[in-house]
Structure formats: C-alpha cells, structure tokens
C-alpha cells in the first residue's frame, strides 16, 4: 500500500517581518517529532498577504529560498508554501516545492485576487505544477485558485487521473470561510482526490481576520482533519489504496468532458 505522510502548519504570521516569520516557522518545523515527508506552510508565509512586493520581494537566491533549502535538507522533508519573488522585473506570488537535495519546482499563482489589488502588483502564472513523490502525483495551487474549478480539474487521459492529491496554501479571510470549506470539499469530490488546504490564523496588517479552517479531505469529501482559529501542527498519513478503490468502483472521471487549458 502506497502511503504519504504530510504535516500542515496553521499559524499566525508577523506582518511583513521575514526574520520573525522564518524564526517562528523554523521552531515549529523542528518541533515536529513524527516522521513526515511533506511540510506545508500558508500562502506568503514569510510576510503575510502583502501588496508591497516592491519592498518585500526577493530573488530565487534570496534569504527565504535559502532558508527553505536549509530546513528541507536538515529535516529530510519536502517543504512547500508561497512567498513574494521578483524575476525579470515582475513580481510573483510563487509557491516553492523544495526537495531535501536542494532541487525545487515552482508554481506562480494563476488567479490573482483583484478584490485586494493583487492583480495590480503581481504577474499571473500560466503553468500548473504537478509534483511526483513516491508514486503520488500532487497538484499545487494557491488560495484564490480554489474558486476556479477548471484550473484544478482532472484531465481525462489513458493512464488515469492526473493527480492524487491537491494542495492549496492560503491567506483566506474568516469572513468568507464558508466558501473556503465548501470549495475544498467540492474540489475533492469532483476530482476524486485527496485535498489539503492550509490557511493562516489571526489578523493581518490590514486588520483582516483569518480563522484558519485548514482541512484534509478524502476523495469522497469526508473531512479527515479540520482546525478553526487555533494555531496547530497536524501530521497525517494518507493511503492511496482507498482512493484508487473509490475511483475504480465509482469511475466518474471517465465520463468527464474533454477540454484544453488555454494560457495567455
């Protein structure tokens, strides 16, 4: 049976204070005693959801990416979360998928949250990142992407579903937490996939409150973990066999519409 152990970190964040956030998160990661393979941090974990990339962005060889390399190597884990990156004069809300050997993949947030002006400061990504770990395929997305189901939709292909686990890292406000919880379950059900949503808690620098509501959900939409308001570190081992059984007994994905993702 193929298993995958993940740890989620639901935490408050120090507003636009990289040093404080990296120190706090390092302490939390080092405190994980269980054997784990992937540690998931919230969106913009080093700064909070800031619209000041001009002041806060860093390059791919900057302090936060180097910190991720060091932590992933020391703990022998895959470490993921998003941060503010500047590249070729553009700013990105970029998820980093950092491997223990220092290699990494990146995903630039496709759907920018225009309601908060994210589209005025950040460049949209155009490519999905589906990582592979121990035979598991993992689709990595960010916060507002959750509202756009086509971007996460399983593609029909002869060898089977595109992915087995869908991860969203977020700074999703409490005032819309019903949408967050409902859509996480919807993405799990419609894609017959495990879904993990990792959100922050506490107030940000704009006074916006975040309730967390981080969740782990199985392919039938059953909630395996849910934590509201409190900081929490949670480790769970996911099993692929039950999900494969669901897909075999309820082969709904085979009836899905074929489509193409068209990029800008």
Instruction: Look at 135-139, 150-154, 248-252, 254-258 and tell me which has the smallest mean pLDDT.
Output: 254-258
Contacts by 101-105 with C-beta closer than 8 Å and gap 24+? 101/73, 102/69, 102/72, 102/73, 104/65, 104/68, 104/69, 105/129, 105/131, 105/140
Q: How far is CA 11 from CA 139, 178, 196, 228, in A?
A: 23, 19, 15, 11
For range 178-204, the mean pLDDT:
98
pTM of the model: 0.97
Q: In this predicted structure, what is the pLDDT of residue 4?
A: 98
Q: In this predicted structure, what is the pLDDT of residue 154?
A: 93
Indicate whether 261 belongs to any domain: no
Catalytic residue among 43, 58, 162, 174: 43
Annotated catalytic residue 109:
yes
Instruction: Look at 20-24, 118-122, 147-151, 156-160 and tell me which has the smallest mean pLDDT.
Output: 156-160
How many domains does the chain divide into? 1
Cβ-contact 264, 255 below 8 angstroms: no
pLDDT at 234 over 70: yes
Instruction: Return mean pLDDT, the chain.
Output: 96
Cβ-contact 231, 42 below 8 angstroms: no
Q: In this predicted structure, what is the pLDDT of residue 1?
A: 60
pLDDT band at 263 (very low <50, low <70, confident <90, very high): low
pLDDT band at 158 (very low <50, low <70, confident <90, very high): confident
Q: What is the DSSP string of 111-134?
A: S--GGGTHHHH-PPP---EEEEET
Annotated catalytic residue 143:
yes
pLDDT (tens digit, 9 = 90+) per residue, 86-110? 999 999 999 999 999 999 999 999 9
Cβ-contact 7, 34 below 8 angstroms: yes
pLDDT at 146 over 80: yes
Please name which of 189, 184, 194 lies closest in space to residue 239, comparing C-alpha atoms: 194
Catalytic residue among 18, 37, 58, 109: 109
Cβ-contact 143, 176 below 8 angstroms: no
Looking at the DSSP bridge assignments, the partners of residue 48 are none
pLDDT at 264 over 60: no
Domain that holds residue 21: 3-255
Indicate whether 263 belongs to any domain: no
Indicate whether 260 belongs to any domain: no
Q: In this predicted structure, what is the pLDDT of residue 190?
A: 97
Task: Report the alpha-carbon distance of residue 81 to residue 49 in Å, rounded.
Answer: 12
Indicate whether 264 belongs to any domain: no
Q: How far is CA 172 from CA 27, 53, 182, 207, in A?
A: 24, 19, 13, 13
User: Rounded to a whole number, what is the distance in angstroms from the first to the last CA of the chain?
Assistant: 40
Indicate whether 262 belongs to any domain: no
Indicate whether 74 belongs to any domain: yes
Q: In this predicted structure, what is the pLDDT of residue 251?
A: 93
Task: Report the alpha-carbon distance of residue 131 to residue 123 in Å, rounded.
Answer: 22
Please name which of 218, 211, 220 lies closest in space to residue 42, comparing C-alpha atoms: 211
Annotated catalytic residue 190:
no
Indicate whether 124 belongs to any domain: yes
Burial profile 225-249: b = 16 or more Cβ within 10 angstroms, e = fewer: eebbeeebbbbbebebeebbebbee
Q: In this predicted structure, what is the pLDDT of residue 261?
A: 76
Cβ-contact 41, 8 below 8 angstroms: no
pLDDT band at 256 (very low <50, low <70, confident <90, very high): confident
Q: In this predicted structure, what is the pLDDT of residue 155?
A: 84
pLDDT (tens digit, 9 = 90+) per residue, 44-68? 999 999 999 999 999 999 999 999 9
Indicate whether 153 belongs to any domain: yes
Catalytic residue among 69, 118, 143, 227: 143
Q: How far is CA 53 from CA 50, 78, 95, 168, in A?
A: 7, 26, 15, 21
**CATH code of residue 245:** 3.60.110.10
pLDDT at 36 over 90: yes
Q: In this predicted structure, what is the pLDDT of residue 259?
A: 79
pLDDT at 12 over 60: yes
């Amino acid at each position: 049976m193929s298993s995958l152990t993940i740890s989620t970190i639901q935490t408050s964040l120090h507003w636009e204070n990289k040093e404080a956030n990296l120190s706090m998160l390092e302490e939390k990661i080092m405190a994980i005693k269980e054997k784990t393979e992937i540690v998931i941090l919230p969106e913009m974990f080093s700064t909070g959801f800031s619209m000041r990339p001009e002041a806060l962005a860093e390059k791919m060889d900057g302090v936060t990416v180097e910190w991720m390399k060091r932590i992933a190597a020391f703990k022998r884990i895959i470490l993921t979360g998003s941060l503010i990156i500047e590249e070729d004069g553009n700013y990105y809300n970029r998820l980093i998928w950092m491997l223990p050997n220092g290699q990494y993949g990146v995903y630039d947030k496709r759907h920018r949250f225009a309601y908060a002006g994210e589209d005025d400061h950040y460049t949209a990504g155009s490519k999905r990142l589906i990582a592979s770990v121990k035979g598991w395929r993992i689709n990595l997305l960010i916060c507002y992407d959750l509202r756009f189901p086509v971007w996460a939709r399983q593609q029909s292909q002869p060898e089977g579903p595109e992915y087995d686990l869908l991860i969203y890292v977020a700074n999703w406000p409490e005032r819309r937490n019903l949408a967050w919880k409902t859509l996480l379950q919807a993405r799990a059900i419609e894609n017959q996939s495990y879904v993990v949503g990792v959100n922050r808690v506490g107030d940000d620098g704009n006074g916006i409150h975040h309730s967390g509501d981080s969740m782990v959900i199985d392919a039938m939409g059953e909630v395996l973990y849910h934590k509201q308001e409190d900081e929490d570190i949670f480790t769970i081992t996911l099993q692929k066999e039950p999900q494969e059984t669901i897909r075999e007994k309820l082969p709904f994905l085979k009836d899905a519409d074929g489509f193409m993702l068209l990029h800008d």
